[in-house]
C-alpha cells in the first residue's frame, strides 16, 4: 500500500495485496441517510478527472465494485476517526460519525494519483492500493486563520481556502473579521460598521465586507466540509475601523480617521463607557445567531492603548457576554492576564516567559490553550530574505521550521491535557489575492495539519519527500505554491 504520501500521516496502516480499480461500473453506496452527503461529496470530487459516472445509491446487499460508506465502526475511533478497508473488490469506509467518513474521503483522494484533483478528464488508471487504515486525530482543534481585515477576501476566495483546508483535515477556520483597517461583517443593529468601517484596507486597497447572507454561505460551505467557522471581532484594540464608524464608541466622542497603515496597538474601545458593552453585546448577539459553531473569538491582543487594570475588567466582562449568547470565548494569549472562564480557549501566539505564564494561568483556571506560535505557524512570515510577500517580525520560517516543533513541549510546564490543538495563522497586511494566500500557505500549511492530527514523533527527513510528493497534486488543483528549494 503506497500510503507514505498521505498528509496528515494516518495513525495505522496495513498493506494488502493488489488494488481496487475505479471503472465505469463502480458505484458509491451508503447505509444510512446521514451518509448520503459524504457519498455525494466523494463522487463529486472524483467525477471531473475520472470521467466516471460513479452513481451514488443506498446500499443493497453485498455488491462488489463499490465504495461503501457504513456505520458500525469501533466507537473508540471517536467523532472524527475512521477505518478504511480496501480490497480488489470493494472499498469499505467505516466511522462512528460523518466527520470520520469525510476524513476517510480525504485519505482516499490522496491514495489516488494526483491527477484526480484535476477539473478536466485525465487518462487514469484510478487504482486504490489494497490495505487497511485506522485513523483518528491527536487534537480536536485544528484550525487555520485568515485575516480578511487588512485586505478583504471575497466569498469565492474563502471557499477556495476552505477546500484546501479540507484536503488536510483541518476542522476550524478562524476568520479575523475586524481590525484597525477594516470591519468585514454586516451588523444590522450597527450598520455603519460595515458601511463605513468596511470601506478601507491596508494601503488604500479596496475594502469590502460580508453581508450576513455571504457569511451564512461561508458557514454552510465550511460545514459541508466539517469545518467550523470561528469568527473573531478583535477588541479592545485593533478597533479603529469601528471607532471611525461610530463617534460615540470613543472616550472623547470624536470619530477616528480611517486607518490604512500597518502599525498595531494604538486603538482602544472606550472601556469605561456603557455604550461600549451595548455595542459588543449587539455585535456578539448577531454573530452568535449567524454562527452554528460554539465559539466566538474576542481578540484581546496588543491592547497597548488600554490600561492593564481596565483591560482585565474588560476581557472578563466580554467573556461573560459571549457566554450569555451561548458560546465559548476564544482570545489571544494576552487574555490570560484577565480572569478566564473555564470554558474559554486561549490562543498562544507569543512564547516569551510572560506569555507562557498566561498559558499556565489559563490552564490552571481550567481553560484550554490553542497553539499558534508565531515563529512556527504564522504563515505570513517570509520563507527567506527573497520572499516577495510577507513580514519578518517573527523571523523567516522555512517549511522545515514550520514542521519541526512539538506541541506538548512548546510551553514548559503546560499540562498536555490543556492543549486543545494548533492553528496556522495567515495575516494579510501584504497579501492581496488568493494567489498570495496560497503562496504563503503552501507548502507550510499541510505540516501544521499533520502536527494537529498525527501522533507525536515526526521527522523532517521522513516528511520532506512525502510533502514534495504533493506538488503534482497542488499543480492539478492550480495552487500557487512557493517552490521551496528543499522540496526540489
Where along the sequence are the contacts to ligand ACM (CB under 6 A)?
301-302, 332, 349
- CB closer to ligand ACM, 96 vs 299: 299
Minimum CB separation from ligand ACM for residue 332, in Å?
Answer: 5
Kindly provide the residue ranges of all beta strands, DSSP E only, lying in 22-97, ordered along the sequence. Answer: 27-30, 56-58, 66-70, 82-86, 90-94
Positive or negative torsion for Cα 248, 249, 250, 255: negative
- CB closer to ligand ACM, 176 vs 328: 176
Q: Which long-range contacts (CB under 8 A, 24 or more apart) does 195-200 make?
A: 195/245, 196/244, 196/245, 196/258, 197/241, 197/242, 197/244, 197/245, 198/152, 198/241, 199/258, 200/241, 200/244, 200/258, 200/259, 200/260
Minimum CB separation from ligand ACM for residue 321, in Å?
Answer: 21
Q: Is 80 a catalytic residue?
A: no
Grid coordinates belonging to 336: 490570560
How far, in Å, CA of 387 to CA of 385, rounded?
6
Minimum CB separation from ligand ACM for residue 301, in Å?
Answer: 4
Q: What kind and span of H or E run contains 369? A: strand 368-371
Q: What is the DSSP secondary-structure string of 270-302?
A: -TT-HHHHHHHHHHHHHHHHH--SSEEEEE---
Grid coordinates belonging to 370: 490553542
- CB closer to ligand ACM, 311 vs 349: 349
Minimum CB separation from ligand ACM for residue 342, in Å?
Answer: 23
- CB closer to ligand ACM, 349 vs 383: 349
- CB closer to ligand ACM, 169 vs 238: 238
The SS3 call for residue 253 is: coil
Contacts of 27 (CB under 8 A, 6+ apart): 54, 55, 56, 57, 63, 65, 66, 67
Contact criterion met (CB below 8 Å) for 292 and 307: no
Q: Look at the block and give the residue holding cell 464608541.
A: 249
Name the residue with the smallest CB distance to ligand ACM: 301
- CB closer to ligand ACM, 333 vs 436: 333
Minimum CB separation from ligand ACM for residue 234, in Å?
Answer: 8
Contact criterion met (CB below 8 Å) for 438 and 481: yes
Q: Which residues pair with 76 in a beta bridge?
A: none
Task: Indicate which residue of 302, 310, 400, 423 is catalytic.
Answer: 302
Q: Look at the block and give the residue holding cell 497542488.
A: 474
Minimum CB separation from ligand ACM for residue 437, in Å?
Answer: 17
Contact criterion met (CB below 8 Å) for 121 and 51: yes
- CB closer to ligand ACM, 137 vs 336: 336
Q: Look at the block and give the residue holding cell 452554528.
A: 292
Grid coordinates belonging to 113: 494519483
Minimum CB separation from ligand ACM for residue 287, in Å?
Answer: 19
- Positions annotated as catalytic residues are 302
Amino acid at each position: 500500500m503506497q500510503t507514505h504520501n498521505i498528509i496528515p500521516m494516518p495513525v495505522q496502516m496495513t498493506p494488502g495485496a493488489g488494488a481496487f480499480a475505479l471503472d465505469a461500473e463502480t458505484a458509491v453506496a451508503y447505509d444510512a441517510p446521514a451518509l448520503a452527503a459524504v457519498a455525494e461529496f466523494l463522487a463529486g470530487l472524483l467525477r471531473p478527472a475520472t470521467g466516471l459516472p460513479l452513481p451514488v445509491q443506498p446500499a443493497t446487499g453485498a455488491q462488489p465494485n463499490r465504495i461503501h460508506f457504513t456505520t458500525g465502526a469501533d466507537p473508540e475511533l471517536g467523532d472524527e476517526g475512521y477505518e478504511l478497508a480496501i480490497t480488489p473488490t470493494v472499498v469499505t469506509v467505516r466511522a462512528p460519525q460523518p466527520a470520520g467518513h469525510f476524513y476517510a474521503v480525504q485519505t482516499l483522494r490522496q491514495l489516488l494519483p494526483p491527477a484526480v484533483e484535476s477539473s478536466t478528464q485525465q487518462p487514469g488508471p484510478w487504482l486504490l492500493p489494497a490495505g487497511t487504515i485506522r485513523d483518528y486525530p491527536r487534537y480536536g482543534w485544528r484550525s487555520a486563520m485568515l485575516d480578511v481585515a487588512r485586505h478583504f477576501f471575497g466569498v469565492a476566495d474563502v471557499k477556495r481556502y476552505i477546500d484546501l483546508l479540507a484536503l488536510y483535515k483541518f476542522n476550524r477556520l478562524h476568520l479575523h473579521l475586524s481590525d484597525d483597517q477594516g470591519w468585514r461583517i454586516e451588523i444590522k443593529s450597527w450598520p455603519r460598521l460595515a458601511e463605513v468601517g468596511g470601506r478601507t484596507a491596508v494601503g488604500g486597497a479596496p475594502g469590502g465586507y460580508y453581508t450576513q447572507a455571504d457569511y451564512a454561505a461561508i458557514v454552510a460551505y465550511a460545514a459541508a466540509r466539517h469545518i467550523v467557522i470561528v469568527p473573531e471581532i478583535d477588541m479592545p484594540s485593533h478597533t479603529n475601523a469601528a471607532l471611525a464608524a461610530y463617534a460615540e464608541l470613543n472616550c472623547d466622542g470624536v470619530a477616528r480617521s480611517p486607518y490604512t497603515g500597518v502599525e498595531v496597538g494604538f486603538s482602544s474601545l472606550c472601556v469605561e463607557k456603557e455604550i461600549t458593552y451595548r455595542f459588543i453585546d449587539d455585535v456578539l448577539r448577531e454573530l452568535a445567531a449567524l454562527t452554528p459553531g460554539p465559539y466566538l473569538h474576542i481578540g484581546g491582543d496588543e491592547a497597548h492603548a488600554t490600561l492593564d487594570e481596565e483591560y482585565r475588567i474588560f476581557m472578563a466582562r466580554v467573556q461573560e457576554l459571549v457566554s450569555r449568547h451561548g458560546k465559548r470565548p476564544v482570545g489571544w494569549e494576552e487574555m490570560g492576564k484577565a480572569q478566564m472562564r473555564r470554558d474559554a480557549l486561549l490562543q498562544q501566539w507569543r512564547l516569551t516567559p510572560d506569555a507562557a505564564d498566561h498559558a499556565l494561568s489559563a490552564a490552571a483556571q481550567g481553560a484550554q490553550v490553542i497553539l499558534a506560535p508565531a515563529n512556527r505557524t504564522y504563515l505570513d512570515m517570509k520563507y527567506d530574505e527573497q520572499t516577495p510577500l510577507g513580514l519578518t517580525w517573527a523571523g523567516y520560517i522555512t517549511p522545515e521550521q514550520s514542521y519541526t516543533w512539538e506541541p506538548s513541549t512548546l510551553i514548559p510546564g503546560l499540562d498536555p491535557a490543556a492543549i486543545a490543538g494548533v492553528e496556522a495563522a495567515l495575516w494579510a497586511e501584504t497579501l492581496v489575492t488568493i494567489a498570495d494566500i496560497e503562496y504563503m500557505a503552501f507548502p507550510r500549511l499541510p505540516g501544521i495539519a499533520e502536527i494537529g492530527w498525527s501522533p507525536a514523533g515526526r521527522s523532517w527527513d521522513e516528511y520532506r519527500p512525502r510533502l514534495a510528493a504533493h506538488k503534482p497534486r497542488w499543480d492539478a488543483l492550480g495552487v500557487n505554491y512557493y517552490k521551496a528549494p528543499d522540496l526540489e
